[in-house]
A = this chain, B = another copy of it.
Amino acid sequence: MPHDLDPIDLKMLRLLQKNGRLSNADLAQAVGASPATCHRRTQRLFAEGYIRQVRAMVTPQKVDRGALVVVGVVLDRSTPDSFAEFEKAVAALPFILDCHLVAGDFDYFLKIRVGDMADFNRIHGQQLIALPGVRQTRTFFVMKEVVDNAALDF
């Protein structure tokens, strides 16, 4: 995977990560390039996948998704089919923010946002333990979000 990012590209990525609404003119001035050059470089960063998307980050508490839960999942069987089926089902559940296959005592970790604990209990009983091949889940309620979704450091 070629990383043809010169110092100007890196600076642009860092600035756009902090503020995705930065105007091309301001960005150009900040990195010391002309607006035309800056514009062309920005287009390239998108076209070549360095920037996956630009997202307005909505405050969870403001849209009734203030409760965060981490769930460790163990499957019945450790077969490729079993994993594939589970992953496919997970992708259809919109309240799951993260789903990672891990090495260790669990098969998967899920990061879930819901309105409150009652919501979670309903979802847990109706949708999580009903996921294909689930043997066991362990729920970790988040009591304090010290750092949530920090920007990438590079």
Taking Cβ atoms with an 8 Å cutoff, the residues of A that contact B are 1, 3, 5, 10, 13, 16-21, 49-65, 68, 70, 87, 90-91, 94-106, 108-109, 111, 113, 138-154
B60 in contact with A152 (CB, 8 Å): yes
Q: Is the CB of A63 within 8 A of B150?
A: no
Contact B98 A147 (CB under 8 A): yes
| Copies per assembly | 2
Given A3-B64, A98-B149, A102-B140, 15 new contacts (CB under 8 A): A13-B56, A21-B21, A50-B59, A51-B57, A70-B109, A96-B147, A97-B152, A98-B111, A98-B150, A100-B147, A101-B144, A101-B146, A103-B140, A104-B141, A105-B140
**When the two chains form their complex, are residues B65 and A152 in contact, meaning their CB atoms are under 8 A apart?**
yes
Q: Are B151 and A55 in contact (CB under 8 A)?
A: yes
